[in-house]
Each structure stands twice: as C-alpha cells, then as structure tokens.
C-alpha cells in the first residue's frame, strides 16, 4: 500500500476514562489513527499506568481504528519500567535537560529495554520548554541538525521530539508561535526519521499544516483539551446549575472529542486508519 507521509498522527493527553473515550471517538469519527498520551507527572498524580493501560486497551479492542498508548515525558526509570510492564506501546524518555552525552546514555538504556519487547521509543533533543517561561523564543534551546543526526544514530530511538518553536501550554494572548520550518525540513532531510511536535495546543492551524508538510509525523495536544473541558464544565454549571454529575462527565467527553477531532483533521490524518 502507498502510504502518504504528509500527515501527522495526533497524540492526545488523557488522565481519565472520559478523555480516553473522547480521543478514541474523535479518531473513530475521522477514521484516523490515534495515540493516547499520558505524562509521567499526570500518571503519578492521578490515573497510574496500570489503570490507564487497562482503560485504553479495553477501548482499543472495541475500536475500528488503530490506538496506541504512549508514556509522555518519561523521566524516571522506575516510572518508565512501570509503563513498560503495563504494556504501553511506546515510551518517551525525556532526558533533554541533561547534556547531550548524558541524554544519549539515558535514552539508550530505555531503547535497550523497550526494543526487547517491540515497544517503540521517543527521545527528545534540544529542549521543548513552557509557554509560561517564554521558552518558545529561546533559540539556544532549539534542536541543532547535527545533534539530531548524532542522537538518532547513537541511541536508536524510533522517533524524536524536536524543539523548533512550539512549547507546552497557552501562549500569551493566544499569539501563534513562530515555528522554524526550515529547521524541521533540515532535520527531516538529514535523519529521514519520524519527528514529533510537542506543544500542539494553540499553535495555529496553518503552523500545524506546514509543520506536517516539512516532516512532522506526530503532534502532541494537551492544554487545549484540558482547558476546553474545564470551560465546558463551567458553562454547563452556569447555564444549568442543577445539572446531574453524569451529564457533566458526558459533556466533558464530547468536548474532548470535538477538540481532538479538529486537530486530527488539521494534521491530515483523517481517513488514514487503514495505513497501519
Ligand atoms: P500542549 O499542552 O501545549 O498541547 O503540549 C502537549 C504536549 O506536548 C505534551 O507532551
């Protein structure tokens, strides 16, 4: 089958049943593949890996589209092995805060573990920070092309998160970030490997489309879903204060579905379920 590489798969952050269901429903309605994402910190505070993995695997078995489960920003080896034991299909090791050689050492350790069981690994090179710290403007944090090539070769990761101008969280005044598209193209050309864009929320439709055209294959979305669900719950409570709790939860699931469905469409993965 001819696979069109010019689309990105949405990786949707979740912390509970409603968000998992919302994400999978969005993928079903778009006939798209979907990656369910849970950040290490979220997993330790709320739905641990065993719980989330059980929910995702149950719902994935009922779905007619491909559903993967990814540990996002895994930093501690203990948390990473927890996700590995609970059958996550991929694991991100984020050692980007360390100097390059230490990042490589930590990443390789996780690659060795995960590849023993066909679990894929995402690494991070450069540093994708926070909108709250205006990290999107700090060019020295951006991924260098030569580091990306070296990192891929030295670690054997399957995919790599790159810092190219998007960061996590809401940008001030909802200003879309300035993405370094040339850098994405150069990294893609030099490595030929799957590339990941973090900080998908609020980054702008045209930016996402162009990032995909330049070589991004996976786009992480969290803040827009969480904020959208919170706003939806506030609205329903204001409009109908005696609404019952279950209606609120169903409302939250539908809000998440609508937000993620739009991202799936923008990333170009609608209709691509059969490619996997
Ligand atoms: P946003 O919260 O900005 O969408 O970023 C999500 C993300 O990159 C998770 O790793």
Tens digits of residue pLDDT in 247-270: 999 999 999 999 999 999 999 999
Residue 11 CB less than 6 A away from ligand 1: no
Q: Is 180 a catalytic residue?
A: no
Residue 200 CB less than 6 A away from ligand 1: yes
In a domain, 262, yes or no: yes
Burial of 192: CB neighbours in 10 Å, binned 0-12, 13-18, 19+: exposed
Atom of ligand 1 nearest to the CA of 224: 4
In a domain, 2, yes or no: no
In a domain, 3, yes or no: no
In a domain, 1, yes or no: no
β partners of residue 197: 219
Q: How many domains does the chain have?
A: 1
Quote the pLDDT of residue 3: 41
- DSSP helix/strand/coil, 68: strand
In a domain, 206, yes or no: yes
Low-confidence stretches of the chain (pLDDT beneath 70): 1-5, 174
Please report, for the domain that includes residue 224, its CATH number: 3.20.20.70
Quote the pLDDT of residue 5: 61
Quote the pLDDT of residue 2: 39
In a domain, 114, yes or no: yes
Atom of ligand 1 nearest to the CA of 223: 2
The 10s digit of each residue's pLDDT in 114-161 is 999 999 999 999 999 899 888 888 999 999 999 999 999 999 999 999
pTM: 0.95
Domain span including residue 271: 9-275
């Amino acid at each position: 089958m001819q696979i069109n590489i010019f689309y990105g798969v949405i990786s949707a952050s979740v912390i509970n049943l409603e968000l998992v269901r919302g994400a999978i429903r969005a993928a079903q309605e778009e006939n798209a593949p979907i990656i369910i994402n849970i950040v290490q910190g979220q997993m330790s505070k709320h739905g641990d890996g065993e719980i989330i993995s059980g929910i995702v695997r149950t719902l994935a078995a009922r779905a007619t589209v491909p559903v993967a489960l990814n540990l996002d920003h895994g930093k501690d080896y203990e948390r990473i092995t927890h996700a590995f034991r609970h059958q996550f299909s991929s694991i991100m090791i984020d050692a980007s805060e360390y100097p390059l050689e230490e990042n490589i050492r930590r990443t390789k350790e996780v690659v060795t573990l995960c590849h023993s069981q066909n679990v894929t690994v995402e690494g991070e090179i450069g540093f994708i920070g926070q909108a709250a710290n205006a990290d999107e403007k700090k060019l020295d944090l951006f991924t260098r092309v030569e580091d990306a090539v070296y990192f891929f070769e030295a670690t054997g990761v399957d995919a790599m998160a790159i810092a190219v101008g998007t960061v996590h969280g809401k940008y001030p005044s909802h200003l879309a970030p300035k993405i370094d598209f040339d850098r994405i193209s150069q990294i893609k050309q030099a490595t030929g490997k799957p590339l990941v864009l973090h900080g998908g929320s609020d980054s702008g439709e045209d930016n996402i489309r162009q990032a995909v055209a330049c070589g991004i294959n996976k786009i992480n979305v969290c803040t827009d879903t969480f904020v959208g669900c919170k706003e939806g719950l506030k609205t329903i409570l204001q409009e109908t204060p005696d609404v019952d709790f279950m209606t609120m939860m169903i409302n939250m699931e539908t809000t998440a579905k609508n937000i993620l469905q739009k991202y799936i469409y923008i990333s170009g993965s609608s209709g691509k379920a059969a490619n996997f």
